[in-house]
Homo-oligomer: A and B are copies of this chain.
Amino acid sequence: MAIFSLLVTATPYSAQGQFSALQFVRVAINNGHSIKRVFFYADGVLVASRLNHPPSDEINLTKAWAKLAIEQDIDLVVCVTAALKRGITNHAEAERNALTGENLDPAFEISGLGQLTEAMLESDRLITFG
């Protein structure tokens, strides 16, 4: 059984990459593999906002990731530089940067690009969804 990590850069609702990445993770776990980390970068970080609120007949990608992360104990990491630039922030980053609000879903964690490199080196495969 193998260890996977994912790099997800796709814009949440405009591109298909987030849907594909979710599907890949679900199937990999069903097949007995494990997921070390999903690293969100570039526009991919936008999925981490708990304010994302698609119409009720559509999947909420943020909640779908959060559910998967909690059930399967998966590490969801958002790149801090990409996130701040695109308006994704938690309480600590908001304070540090004097921002008036925060919106990070609690299933996600903000960290640095080093987490991507580490995931690459400690997994059997890194799969990019862009």
Contacts and interface: CB of A to CB of B under 8 A. Distances in A.
Q: Which range contains the number of A residues in contact with the other chain?
A: 20 to 34
Interface in A37-60: 42-43, 46, 49-55, 58
Q: How many copies does the complex hold?
A: 2
A101 interface: yes
Nearest to A43: B14
Contact of A13 (B13, B52, B85, B94): B85
B103 A101 contact: yes
A17 interface: no
Contact of A53 (B55, B84, B103): B84
B101 A102 contact: yes
Contacts of A12: 86
A52 B102 CA distance: 11
A87 B48 CA distance: 10
